[in-house]
Amino acid sequence: MKAFHKKTVATATRFAALLSIAGIALTGCQKESEAGKPAAAADQPVVIDKPVTLKVAPIIISITDEDFKTLLADPVKKVQPNITLELVKPGKGTNIEDLIAAGSPPDLLLTWNGRLLYTKEMDLLEDMTPLLTKHKVDLNRFEPAAIEAIKMVSDKGELYALPFALQHYALYYNKDIFDKFGVPYPKDGMTWEQTVELAKKVSREDTGTVYRGMGIQNLASLHYPLSLGAVDAKTNKAVIQNEQWKKVFELGKSIYGIEGNAPKKFFNDDDDAFVKNRIIAMLPAVNMIPRLMEAEKEKNDLNWDIAQYPSFPERPNMYAMMNTHVVAVTKSSKNKDAAVEVMKVLTSDEVQLISSQKTARLTSLKSPEIVKAFGTDIPSLKGKHVDSIFKSKHAPGVVMSEYLGKATTILRDQFTQYFNGGKDANTALRDSEESINKMIQTDKQK
């Protein structure tokens, strides 16, 4: 345990920057399987006959108290009265590293597939296949791409978690800014180049306010559609010096290079500038609906809508890599049978339908009915072009290295020098690769 704790402390900060990269906020069935038989996960519970309390810990992603109650606590209590769930929110003394160091790791983890390698290396995960077989969990109910994204971190096809939601990407836009300048709204099917050209038409100053044509939520918004990682997860070597990363840098420069469109800090999350300050006309982003729902509760009357996420010509109708929220039973849990039953409830047709309708999460199940129900109970989505979200598919994925967070910080710094004319793209990418490899080598020696 001491050795594991030492490793945990040494790696605790490696993914600190992943929160901004993932851009993830968890605030967003078919009653029969496709064969026409009852879904095993929903209809064949293994009864837990003794009272047990399970700790549920989110990592990177977050979940509101309301959603925890709606999607987990209440439906679990209904199906398994003896199971009580306790949400352990990350904070001082309650981060996953703190829980492990204190000898009280959680029973269940809620995270995303990009964090699985890190949690695997912390020895928190194990192959769940035997447990899932024992509890009659039918993996055929799930989207194959989501299952594959989880298996990518395995060595021999192990399955460490189950997907319970898929993140979507869209081009969010402020209708009032387009109306102010008499410019047509964004359309579905636009390329990045076409979107940049449209952004130029709404990047203006008016009565003292500088309106930016397009923001960039984070660097991942540009490189995920090309299935690019910054570090090879198997070799822990940077993979930056190539034409694809050069294309990302050039695209970033073309966006920020629009007159009046450059922020003070690049790739620094333009959500507030879009929702709160209302100075950004378009924002290509991972699921902004929960944030916009909160804004509506706060009497924010932002006049927004959705268009299809921009794509590269060689990858039409394709947005970012598979980004799935997952639930996993920890290796150290003493109540694994109960924990799997909780997973079954969360991924049941009934709960997935509620999740789709009320929380703007894309279901991880192969259910057209649940997909169709997306956002139907959310007032904020009434009259919005929600169908635009479903016109793109996920790009092929790559395994996310534990060094991605620190690598992205280096890339941002090098991009800044490139944008300001201090370096050309090739030099910036070469220096990025050298700095990232040096950072990894130094980190390994700690």
Q: What is the mean pLDDT of residues 63-79?
A: 96
Indicate whether 10 pLDDT > 50.
no
CA–centroid distance for 371 within its chain: 18
Q: For the chain, what percent of residues have pLDDT higher than 90? A: 78
pLDDT in tens, 221-265: 999 999 999 999 989 999 999 999 999 999 999 999 999 999 989
What residue segments make up the domains of the chain, in order of their start?
2-167+323-366, 169-320+401-444
Q: What is the mean pLDDT of the chain?
A: 89
Radius of gyration of the chain (CA): 22
- Residue in this structure with the two tokens 């081009």, named with its chain if needed: 171
Element spanning 108, H or E: strand 108-112
Residue 17: pLDDT band (50, 70, 90) is: very low
Q: Rounded to whole angstroms, how far apart are CA atoms 195 and 214?
A: 8
pLDDT score recorded for residue 439: 97
For residue 231, which phi and psi values (nearest 5 degrees)? -135, 135
CATH annotation of 169-320+401-444: 3.40.190.10
Q: Rounded to whole angstroms, how far apart are CA atoms 354 and 375?
A: 10
- Domain 2-167+323-366 in CATH 3.40.190.10: yes
Give the closest residue to 109 by CA, choosing from 122, 128, 96.
96
pLDDT score recorded for residue 299: 86
Q: For the chain, what percent of residues have pLDDT higher than 70? A: 90
pLDDT score recorded for residue 44: 66
Q: What is the mean pLDDT of residues 177-196?
A: 98
Angle at which helix 243-256 crosses helix 404-419, to 10 degrees, equals 60
pLDDT in tens, 375-405: 999 988 999 999 999 999 999 989 989 899 9
pLDDT score recorded for residue 271: 93
pLDDT in tens, 349-365: 999 999 999 999 999 99
Q: What is the mean pLDDT of residues 121-135?
A: 95
Q: Rounded to whole angstroms, how far apart are CA atoms 222 and 231?
A: 16
Give the closest residue to 181 by CA, choosing from 159, 156, 150, 212.
212
Residue 38: pLDDT band (50, 70, 90) is: very low
